[in-house]
Amino acid sequence: MSAARKTNLSLAVVVVIIAGAVSVAAVLGDRTSEVVPNVVTTSTSTTNPVGDSDSEEAPITADASGARPANLDGSWFSGQLKGDADFAMEKLRCSELRPYLTLDLCAVASTSHGAFMLTASEGYWDPAEPDEAGVVEIPLYFNTYTFSAIGGPPRAVKDLEGLTTRDYESSFGTRTIQLFRGKLGRDEILALVSSGDADSASYQVVHIVAMSSTGAPVVVATYSGTDLRLAIDRASVVLSFSRYGPPTGEECCPDYATIMHLTPGPNGWTEIFTSTEQTEVLLDGMTPLSLIDKYVFPFKSSGSGSN
Per-residue pLDDT of 10-23, as tens digits, reads 434 334 344 444 44
pLDDT at 41 over 50: no
Nearest-angstrom CA–CA distance, 302 and 134: 20
More confident residue, 171 or 9: 171
Average pLDDT, rounded, for the chain: 80
Q: What is residue 64's predicted lDDT score, i.e. its pLDDT?
A: 57
Nearest-angstrom CA–CA distance, 258 and 278: 9
Q: How do beta strands 137-148 and 116-122 pair?
A: antiparallel
Q: How do beta strands 187-195 and 176-184 pair?
A: antiparallel
8 A C-beta contact, residue 142 and residue 118: yes
8 A C-beta contact, residue 233 and residue 261: yes
Q: Ramachandran region of residue 199, left (φ > 0), alpha (ψ -120 to 50) or beta?
A: alpha
User: pTM of the prediction?
Assistant: 0.77
8 A C-beta contact, residue 44 and residue 193: no
What DSSP assignment string belongs to 110-142? --TT--EEEEEEE----TT---TTS--EEEEEE
Residue 106 has a CB neighbour count (10 Å cut-off) of: 21
Domain ranges of the chain: 70-221+289-302
